[in-house]
Amino acid sequence: MKKKINAILYVCLACLSAAALNADGDVPSSDTDQAAVQQQVIIVPVSGEVGPAMAAFIERALEGTDDPDPLFILEMDTFGGRVDSAFQIVDTLLNVPQGRTLAFVEKKAISAGALIALACNELVMKPSTTIGDCAPIILSKEGPKMLGEKFQSPLRAKFRTLAKRNGYPEVLAEAMVSGDMVVYKVETDDGRSFYMEATEYEDLSENERKAIRSKKTVVGKDKLLTMDDQEAMEFGFSKMSVESVEEMLREKGITEYEITEIEENWSEQMVRLITMIAPILMLIGFAGLYLEMQTPGFGIPGILGIICLGLVFFGQYMVGLADHTELLLITLGILLLGVEMFVTPGFGLPGFAGITLMAVGMILSLQDFVLPSPDVPWEAELLWRNVVTVLGSFLGSALLIIIFFRLILPKLSYVIPGPFLSATLADSHVDSDVPVRVSVGDRGVVVKPLRPSGSARIGNDIYDVVSEGEFIKRGQAVVVLEMQGNRVVVVLRGAGDF
């Protein structure tokens, strides 16, 4: 009896001590216990075209949390995009500890989107959504064209690696890339079922074929595997088909959670816009610099050109493609163009070298490599596309200048309201107290470049002269073609010599 009384007293003392400690704050309260086990859920939207801006955004989202064990949910709604950017996103996801990433297909995960989804540790889909079709394509004159084995092989290897990592059927993952694969679902007499490629099935021995109870074609010839949510569950890719993230969390047994959605900040949205309009910005930038080279001094065209090209470089720098090397090349190019404009008027070696350096700098700023690797075949395609983009901007800027000066500028007088003079100055003449001692046929040398106005030494005097629209460098010989009052019109010696 005494032992029982002592035990009761001991229990009472223990309860009173625990209550006292809890009141003093030495033991966490029940609310704190609940907060300690609360799961941090971070939703990262993956929508639109897969590109460098998306890769930079996802990297920031996955690395910008202080929570020790968050669950990252990538909400997928994309038709895909650039392969190099998709590989960069995959590498970012593979650096996240196992079990902390989940792809939730909100609408679609096609092409590069499928690669990103399979890089996550788990896949969940909403009803009536799709995933698959990751064949590498290129836009040709005939439309989209599927690239060959050289491009498909590294993509298949990446899909195979991700399938092994997450327990997906490897042959079905590869069938998302190559259209020449035929895949069977095979069931054996002992109840096992698995997926097998047609060539692998043909290599089975006679005894192995006898053990096969049924064979069903899952992926036919010249077809790329694209699955809806039910097929993805049947084939072993998707874990479940649910209507919302909250329902998915309940199905996973996560009842205490806090959802945080990561959104693009203003700088990332601006970078995405700059990336989209980069060819137009380069076209305006090159046109502005070209106009500045052909006119004396430095004004609005040059400032506009530098701003547009600077925006393109800034956008590529923000997504991690451009670096100090590209900045140095572009800066040297601009400096050489400045030498061409202010030191050696006309167009010569400094101008050509400046344009070349700027073009190389802009090309390199559009990619994360210098020379394409033979092991990564799409780098050569990307390099060619970037070269075409930059050179196309050059040619487009020249066309823009021609259209502006030949078609638009002459018509501005009809758009801008008057008043205008109704009489002409055809019969007028210039009276001057200082006679011009120059005659038609006199020869001279240019001392200030004609663009088209400038100065030339004729005899022992220097005169303000103009050319007939052409630019004439300093030091070139000219001949007086025409006198219009005090206006002296000259041409290059030999062009109008007589």
pLDDT digits (tens, 9 = 90+) for 199-211: 888 888 888 888 8
* 50 and 22 belong to one structural domain: no
What is the predicted pLDDT for the residue at 103? 95
The residue that leads in pLDDT, 197 or 12, is: 197
The whole-number average pLDDT for the span 154-179 is 91
In this predicted model, which residue has the larger pLDDT, 95 or 319? 95
361 and 402 belong to one structural domain: yes
pLDDT at 418: 55
Token pair belonging to 254: 């996560």
pLDDT, residue 412, reads 58
d(C-alpha 25, C-alpha 461), whole Å: 100
Entry pTM: 0.67
Final residue of a domain: which of 261, 284, 319? 261
Give the CA dihedral 168, 174, 180, 182, nearest 10 degrees.
-20
**Residues 253-282: what's their mean pLDDT?**
85
User: Any idea what the CATH number is for the domain that residue 450 is in?
Assistant: 2.40.50.140
User: Which amino acid, residue 333?
Assistant: G
**How wide is the angle at C-alpha 161 spanned by C-alphas 160 and 166, nearest 5°?**
100
Domain count of the chain? 4
The tens digit of pLDDT for each residue in 403-437 reads 776 776 666 555 555 555 555 555 544 444 555 67
| Within a domain: 429 | no
Which residue, chain included where needed, has tokens 């959104």? 263
Position 100 in a domain: yes
3-state secondary structure of 107: strand
Residues 51 and 146 reside in one and the same domain: yes
Asked if residue 397 has pLDDT above 70, the reply is yes
The rounded Cα 112 to chain-centroid distance in angstroms is 14
**Do residues 7 and 37 make contact, with C-beta atoms less than 8 angstroms apart?**
no
* Average pLDDT rounded to a whole number, residues 39-68: 88
Question: What pLDDT sits at residue 417?
Answer: 58
Per-residue pLDDT, 395: 84
**What is the DSSP-derived secondary structure letter of residue 475?**
T
| Judgement on whether residues 248 and 396 belong to the same structural domain of the protein | no
> What mean pLDDT comes out for the span 375-399?
81
| Residue 423 falls inside a structural domain | no
Q: Is 91 inside any structural domain? A: yes
pLDDT tens across 110-166, in order?
Answer: 999 999 999 999 999 999 999 998 888 776 666 667 777 778 888 888 999 999 999
pLDDT tens digits along 371-383: 777 777 767 778 8
Domain membership flag for residue 280: yes
**The domain boundary residue, chosen from 353, 387, 409:** 409
In terms of domains, do 43 and 97 share one?
yes
The answer to whether 183 touches 217, Cβ cutoff 8 Å, is yes
Q: Is residue 359 part of a domain?
A: yes
CA 337 to chain centre: 28
Q: Which of 76-85, 280-289, 322-331, 357-366 has the highest mean pLDDT?
A: 76-85
Residue in the block written with tokens 């010696």: 493
Q: Say which range, 22-26, 213-217, 230-234, 318-322, has the weakest mean pLDDT.
A: 22-26
Q: Say what the pLDDT of residue 7 is.
A: 45
Q: Domain limits at 461? A: 443-492
DSSP letter at 408 equals: I
Distance CA 237, CA 230 (A): 10
What average pLDDT does the segment 66-87 reach?
A: 89
In eight-state DSSP terms, residue 450 is: B
Give the mean pLDDT of the chain: 80
pLDDT digits (tens, 9 = 90+) for 459-486: 888 888 888 877 888 888 999 888 877 7
Q: Name 139's bridge partners.
A: 144
